[in-house]
C-alpha cells in the first residue's frame, strides 16, 4: 500500500527529556515528522532529511470559570480569586503542566515516556557483535513492557497533569500490517480525578502534589471546552514556540536541505470535510515562486533538470523533474464523547455522529489560522485566548472553515499557519473522563512513481491534466487510509484500536561477512509461509532491495560486492501476505561486507578505485565509488597481517593503517591521522609490509577532489 502516515507526537512529551519514536512502519516521528521513515542519514553532504512537518499537539483546557486555590504555580497573585473565563494552553510548562508516571504521582523528569511492544523486540547480531538500538530495547525502569493484548504492534503512552488538576493521557498506536502501516492512532483521555494532583514546584522541578483544595473549590468544570492546536507544515515555530508563528528557516525537507529553493515552501492548500471530520492539506503552486520549470508551475515541487544543480545534491537521491512534495497530510477525528464517562476505560456516545442539534455539532470550531494572528497566553490575556478557541456568540457556520477553492493548478501564496480545533461544551465532574480519538495520515505516490511521472512531466510526455491527476491521487490514498482507521476503531477493545496482527518478526537475526558472500540466519516464526530478505547497500538508510524470499531460515547473499557495506532486514510473511516490520530486524552500525582470503604474493596488492575521484559516481550508478561511502579506498589482495603507511609524493607520512583481520581486504576513509582532514588532490604512495614474513611492496594511487 503506497500510502504514508505520521503521528504528531504531542507537546505533552515536553515534560520528558526524551521523546519516544514510532519506527514500526513508514512513519518515523519523535519531535519531527519523517516520511518515508528510515531514510534519513547524518553523513551525506548536503545532509538530506525526509522531515515533512513539525510535531505539536497541545490539549488546551478552556474553563468558563476557575476558582484558584491558595497555592497556584501559575501565579500567586491569582490565589483565592475566581477567574472567568480561564484557559491553560500549556505554554508555560513548568507552571502549567508536568509529566507524571503512568498511573502514579511521581514525575518523569529527564525520562522517556513508556513504550509497549506486542512481542519482544528482536536480537540482532552482526559479525559476532550484538546491535543495540535504544528504540528497540525495553527499559523496565522506564515502565517499558511487552503487552500481548495490544491491538497494534507498538504503543507509546504519555501522561501529564495540569495546574487545574486534569490528568491527560495520550496513547499512540502503530502497526506493521501493510494495510495499516501508514496509520497511527491517537487516543487522548482527559480526566478530572476525585483526588487531583497539580503542578507544585515545591515538590521539585516539574513536581506535582495532591491538591484537595482544587477539588473543594472546583467540584465541577461546567461549560468546559477542549481546544487542540497542531502544526502540519515544516520549519517555523510550532505550538510550543509562542504566540505568533514566524517564518524561520525550515529544515528537513529534501528540497530545502538540498538547497533547491526556487519553488514554494509554505504554499499548501487547506481543506476541511465536515462530513468525514477530516482536515487535510497538499502542496500548491506558489504564485510568487517560479520553481524550475519554464511555465512556473511548482505544484508538487518538481526538481530541476539534469545539470550541475542536480549533480551537486546526488546524496539526496533526487532525479531530474522528480516530484519532491506530492503527498497529502491529514487528520481524521473518529470519536468524541458526548457526555463525560465515570470510567476512563469506558467510552461515551460518539458526539461526532450526533447531528440532532446542528449548532452543537462537533467539532465546535475548526480552521487554519495564519501565524501572524495566532493567539496564545504568550502575548494575550486568558480571556482573549479563551475567546479565540471557543468563539462565544458565534454560529457554527462562522466557526467552521471553508476549504480553499479548487483552482486550476491550485495556485496559492506562501503562508505559515496553524490549525485550531475545539470540542465541547461539557460539564466535567470529579471522577469523570472525556475521550478524543483521531488518526494522522500522510498519503502520496511512492518515490519511484514520483521519479517516473516527474520525468514524464518534465520532458513533455504527459500534459497538465495528467500531471494534476497524478498529484490528486494522493487524496484517494488518504481516504482509503481513513477507511482503515474507521475499521480499526470499529474493532476496538475498550479504548484500544485493533487490526489483524502480522506474523511475529524473527526473535533473532544473525548477519556475517563471508568469503565472497554475506551469510544470514534467523529464528523460525510460527505461521510464516516464507521470509523476505531486504538489502540496503552503503547505508542502512538506503531504499531497500528485496533480494530473496526463502521458506527456510538461512540465506546467502552471493551478489554482494567486496568493499561495499551491506545492511539487511528479514521479515516473516504469512499465507495471507501479511508481513512483519522490516524495521524491527534492520541491521545498523558498520554493516557487513564480503571478503576474500589473504594473498600469498604481496605484489598482487591493489588499491580500488584508482584514481579516486570525488565526482566518480557510485558503483550502482555505473560509477567507481562505493555506494553510501563517498570517501573510501579499498586495499585488496593483502596478506593476513600487514601494516600500511600512506605517504605524500614528498615523503610526508599521512597515516598508518594496521591490517589485522586475517582477510585479504582493508578499507580506509581517506582521512589524515594528524588533523582528521580528508585527503586533498594529489599523488600518494602506499607502503605495505607483511608483518609475518617481512615482505614489502609499494603501490601508487591518485586522489582527485
CB-CB contact of 506 with 522 (8 Å) = yes
Q: CA separation (Å) from 503 to 4, 21, 421, 533, 574?
A: 21, 22, 38, 15, 6
Are 614 and 704 in contact by the 8 Å Cβ rule? The answer is yes
Q: What is the pLDDT of residues 531-545, one digit of tens each?
A: 999 999 988 988 899
- Report the percent of the chain where pLDDT is more than 90: 60
Contact 638, 668 (CB under 8 A): no
Question: Where does 360-507 show beta strands of DSSP type E?
Answer: 365-370, 411-412, 417-429, 432-443
Q: Which of 94, 412, 481 is nearest to 268 (CA)?
A: 412
From 224-238, 453-467, 471-485, the region with the lowest mean pLDDT: 224-238
Give the relative orientation of helices 447-459 and 464-490 as an angle to the nearest 10 degrees: 160
* Angle ∠(16,20,22) on CA atoms, nearest 5: 155
- The CA distances from residue 322 to 41, 119, 247, 254, 620, in Å, are 20, 39, 26, 11, 20
257-261: average pLDDT = 77
Residue 3: the pLDDT is: 32
Average of per-residue pLDDT across 216-244 = 72
pLDDT over 60 at 492, yes or no:
yes
Residue 136 Cα to chain centre, angstroms:
15
Q: How confident is the model at residue 417 (pLDDT cuts 50, 70, 90)?
A: confident
Query: Who's near 590: CB < 8 A, 6+ residues apart?
Result: 126, 127, 565
pLDDT digits (tens, 9 = 90+) for 175-218: 998 888 888 899 999 999 999 999 998 888 888 999 999 999 99
> Quick one: average pLDDT of 84-112?
84
| Contact criterion met (CB below 8 Å) for 505 and 571 | yes
Q: Please state, in angstroms and rounded to a whole number, the distance separating the CA atoms of residues 443 and 232.
A: 14
Task: Return the DSSP state at 400.
Answer: B
HEC readout, 283-349: ECEECCCCCCCCCCCCCCCECCCCCHHHHCCHHHCCCCCCECCCCEEEEEEEEEECCCECCCCCCCC
540, 588 Cβ separation under 8 angstroms: yes
Residue 433, SS3 per DSSP: strand
pLDDT of residue 276: 96
Nearest to 646 by CA among 630, 634, 657: 657
pLDDT at 179: 83
Query: Average of pLDDT values for 382-406?
Result: 91
Average the pLDDT over 426-435 and give the result: 98
Task: State residue 459 phi and psi, 5-degree precision.
Answer: -95, 5
Q: Is 506 within 8 Å of 520 (Cβ atoms)?
A: no
**Long-range contact pairs involving 240-243 (C-beta distance under 8 Å, separation at least 24):** 240/11, 240/14, 240/56, 240/58, 240/91, 242/91, 242/376, 242/378, 242/379, 243/374, 243/375, 243/376, 243/377, 243/378, 243/379, 243/380
So what's the pLDDT on residue 88? 94
Q: Are 522 and 529 in contact (CB under 8 A)?
A: no
Cα–Cα distance, 355 to 345 (Å, whole number): 25
Distance CA(570)–CA(510), nearest Å, equals 10
Check: CB of residue 629 under 8 Å from CB of residue 620: no
Please say whether the beta carbons of 334 and 438 come within 8 A: yes
User: Do 566 and 560 contact (CB within 8 A), yes or no?
Assistant: yes
In whole angstroms, what is the distance from residue 66 CA to residue 215 CA?
A: 11
Helix (H, G, I), strand (E, B) or coil at 224: strand
For 194, the 3-state DSSP assignment is coil
pLDDT higher than threshold 60 for residue 243? no
Which residues are CB-contacts of 491 (< 8 A; sequence separation ≥ 6)?
151, 497, 498, 499
User: Residue ranges of the domains in the chain?
Assistant: 3-118+153-490, 120-129+502-591, 602-704
What nine digits make up the cell of 131? 546491535
For the domain 602-704, what is the CATH code? 2.60.40.1930
pLDDT tens per residue, range 518-534: 999 999 999 999 999 99
How far apart CA 131 and CA 123 sit, in angstroms, is 8
Closest CA to 597 of 511, 516, 659: 516
Nine-digit cell string for 206? 516539574
Read off the C-alpha cell for 295: 511555465
For the chain, how far is it from start to end, CA to CA, in angstroms? 42
Cβ atoms of 261 and 255 within 8 Å: the answer is: yes
Give the span between the Cα atoms of 279 and 401, in whole angstroms. 10
* Topology match between the domains 120-129+502-591 and 602-704: yes
Q: Which three cell numbers stand for residue 460?
A: 513533455
Question: Counting runs of H as helices and runs of E as strands, what totals does the chain give?
Answer: 8, 41
Pick 204 or 414 by higher pLDDT.
204
Number of other residues whose CB lies within 10 A of the CB of residue 594: 22
pLDDT attached to residue 655: 93
Residue 619 clears pLDDT 60, i.e. is over it = no
Q: Which three cell numbers stand for residue 478?
A: 488518504
Q: How far apart are CA 60 and CA 38, in angstroms?
A: 32
Partners of 556 in the β-ladder: 519
Q: Which of 587, 570, 557, 588 is CA-nearest to residue 503?
A: 570
Lowest mean pLDDT segment, chosen from 257-271, 280-294, 346-360, 682-696: 257-271
For residues 135 and 23, is the Cβ–Cβ distance under 8 A?
Answer: yes
Q: Among 367-371, 627-631, 681-685, which stretch is predicted with the lowest mean pLDDT?
A: 627-631
Contact of 174 with 98, CB cutoff 8 Å = no
Is the pLDDT score of 637 beyond 90?
yes
Give the span between the Cα atoms of 645 and 631, in whole angstroms: 18
- Is residue 151 within 8 Å of 496, Cβ to Cβ? yes
Using DSSP's 3-state secondary structure scheme, residue 200 falls into: coil
For residue 238, pLDDT over 50 is answered with: no
Mean pLDDT of 377-392: 94
Can you give the pLDDT at residue 7? 30
DSSP H helical ranges for 165-322: 212-217, 254-257, 308-311
Average pLDDT for the chain: 87
H or E, element range at 450: helix 447-459
CB neighbourhood size of 88 (10 A): 25
Architecture of the CATH domain 120-129+502-591: Sandwich (2.60)
Q: What is the pLDDT of residues 63-96, one digit of tens each?
A: 999 999 999 988 889 999 999 999 999 888 878 8
Nearest to 90 by CA among 12, 19, 207, 151: 12
| Model pLDDT, residue 425 | 98
**pLDDT surpassing 50 at residue 2:** no
Tens of pLDDT, residue by residue over 573-593, are 999 999 999 999 999 998 999
Please report which helix (H) or strand (E) contains residue 187, including its range.
strand 184-192
Q: What share of the chain is helix, strand, coil (3-state, %, to 5)?
A: 15, 35, 50
Q: Which three cell numbers stand for residue 407?
A: 483552482
Pick the range with the lowest mean pLDDT from 103-117, 123-137, 348-362.
103-117
pLDDT given for residue 491 in this prediction: 97
CA–chain centroid gap for 515, Å, is: 37
Query: 79 with 208: CB under 8 angstroms?
Result: no
- pLDDT of 12 higher than 60: no
Amino acid at each position: 500500500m503506497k500510502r504514508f502516515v505520521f503521528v504528531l507526537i504531542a507537546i505533552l512529551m515536553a515534560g520528558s527529556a526524551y521523546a519516544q519514536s514510532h519506527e514500526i512502519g513508514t512513519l518515523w516521528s519523535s519531535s519531527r515528522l519523517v516520511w518515508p521513515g528510515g531514510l534519513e542519514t547524518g553523513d551525506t553532504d548536503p545532509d538530506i532529511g525526509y522531515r515533512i512537518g513539525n510535531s505539536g499537539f497541545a490539549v488546551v483546557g478552556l474553563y468558563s470559570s476557575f476558582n484558584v486555590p491558595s497555592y497556584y504555580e501559575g501565579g500567586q497573585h491569582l490565589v483565592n480569586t475566581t477567574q472567568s473565563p480561564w484557559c491553560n494552553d500549556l505554554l508555560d510548562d513548568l507552571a502549567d503542566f508536568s509529566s507524571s508516571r503512568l498511573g502514579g504521582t511521581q514525575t518523569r523528569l529527564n525520562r522517556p515516556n513508556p513504550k509497549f511492544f506486542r512481542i519482544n523486540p528482536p536480537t540482532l547480531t552482526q559479525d559476532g557483535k550484538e546491535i543495540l538500538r535504544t528504540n528497540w530495547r525495553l527499559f523496565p525502569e522506564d515502565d517499558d513492557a511487552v503487552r500481548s493484548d495490544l491491538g497494534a504492534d507498538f504503543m507509546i503512552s504519555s501522561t501529564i497533569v495540569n495546574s487545574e488538576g486534569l490528568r491527560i493521557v495520550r496513547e499512540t498506536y502503530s502497526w506493521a500490517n501493510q494495510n495499516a502501516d501508514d496509520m497511527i492512532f491517537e487516543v487522548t483521555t482527559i480526566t478530572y480525578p476525585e483526588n487531583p494532583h497539580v503542578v507544585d514546584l515545591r515538590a521539585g522541578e516539574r513536581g506535582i502534589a495532591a491538591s484537595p483544595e482544587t477539588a473543594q473549590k472546583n467540584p465541577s468544570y461546567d461549560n468546559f471546552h477542549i481546544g487542540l492546536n497542531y502544526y502540519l507544515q515544516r520549519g517555523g515555530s510550532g505550538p510550543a514556540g509562542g504566540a505568533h508563528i514566524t517564518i524561520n528557516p525550515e529544515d528537513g525537507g529534501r528540497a530545502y536541505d538540498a538547497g533547491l529553493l526556487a519553488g514554494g515552501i509554505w504554499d499548501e492548500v487547506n481543506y476541511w470535510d465536515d462530513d468525514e471530520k477530516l482536515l487535510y492539506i497538499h502542496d500548491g503552486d506558489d504564485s510568487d515562486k517560479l520553481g524550475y520549470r519554464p511555465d512556473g508551475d511548482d505544484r508538487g515541487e518538481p526538481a530541476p533538470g539534469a545539470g550541475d544543480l542536480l549533480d551537486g545534491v546526488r546524496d539526496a537521491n533526487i532525479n531530474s523533474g522528480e516530484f519532491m512534495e506530492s503527498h497529502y497530510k491529514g487528520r481524521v477525528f473518529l470519536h468524541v464523547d458526548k457526555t463525560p464517562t465515570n470510567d476512563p476505560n469506558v467510552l461515551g456516545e460518539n458526539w461526532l455522529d450526533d447531528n440532532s442539534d446542528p449548532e452543537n455539532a462537533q467539532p465546535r470550531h475548526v480552521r487554519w489560522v495564519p501565524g501572524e494572528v495566532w493567539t496564545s497566553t504568550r502575548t494575550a490575556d486568558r480571556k482573549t485566548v479563551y475567546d479565540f478557541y471557543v468563539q462565544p456568540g458565534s454560529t457554527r457556520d462562522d466557526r467552521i472553515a471553508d476549504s480553499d477553492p479548487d483552482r486550476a493548478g491550485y495556485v496559492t501564496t506562501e503562508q505559515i499557519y496553524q490549525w485550531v480545533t475545539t470540542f465541547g461544551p461539557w460539564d466535567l465532574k470529579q471522577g469523570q473522563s472525556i475521550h478524543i480519538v483521531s488518526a494522522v495520515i500522510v498519503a502520496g505516490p511512492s518515490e519511484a512513481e514520483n521519479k517516473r511521472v516527474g520525468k514524464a512531466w518534465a520532458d513533455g510526455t504527459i500534459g497538465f491534466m495528467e500531471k494534476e491527476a497524478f498529484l490528486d491521487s494522493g487524496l484517494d490514498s488518504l481516504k482509503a487510509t481513513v477507511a482503515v482507521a474507521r475499521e480499526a476503531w470499529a474493532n476496538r477493545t475498550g479504548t484500544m484500536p485493533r487490526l489483524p496482527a502480522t506474523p511475529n518478526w524473527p526473535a533473532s537475526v544473525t548477519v556475517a561477512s563471508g568469503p565472497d558472500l554475506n551469510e544470514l540466519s534467523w529464528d523460525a516464526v510460527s505461521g510464516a509461509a516464507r521470509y523476505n530478505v531486504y538489502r540496503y547497500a552503503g547505508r542502512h538508510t538506503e531504499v531497500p532491495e528485496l533480494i530473496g524470499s526463502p521458506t527456510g531460515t538461512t540465506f546467502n547473499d552471493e551478489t554482494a560486492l567486496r568493499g561495499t557495506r551491506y545492511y539487511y532486514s528479514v521479515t516473516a510473511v504469512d499465507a495471507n501476505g501479511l508481513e512483519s516490520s522490516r524495521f524491527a530486524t534492520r541491521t545498523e552500525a558498520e554493516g557487513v561486507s564480503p571478503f576474500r582470503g589473504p594473498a600469498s604474493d604481496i605484489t598482487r596488492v591493489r588499491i580500488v578505485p584508482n584514481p579516486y575521484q570525488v565526482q566518480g559516481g557510485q558503483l550502482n550508478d555505473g560509477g567507481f565509488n562505493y555506494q553510501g561511502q563517498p570517501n573510501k579506498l579499498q586495499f585488496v589482495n593483502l596478506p593476513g597481517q600487514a601494516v600500511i603507511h600512506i605517504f605524500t609524493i614528498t615523503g610526508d607520512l599521512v597515516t598508518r593503517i594496521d591490517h589485522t583481520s586475517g582477510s585479504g581486504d582493508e578499507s580506509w576513509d581517506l582521512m589524515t591521522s594528524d588533523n582528521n582532514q580528508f585527503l586533498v588532490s594529489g599523488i600518494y604512495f602506499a607502503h605495505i609490509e607483511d608483518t609475518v614474513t617481512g615482505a614489502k611492496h609499494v603501490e601508487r594511487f591518485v586522489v582527485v577532489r
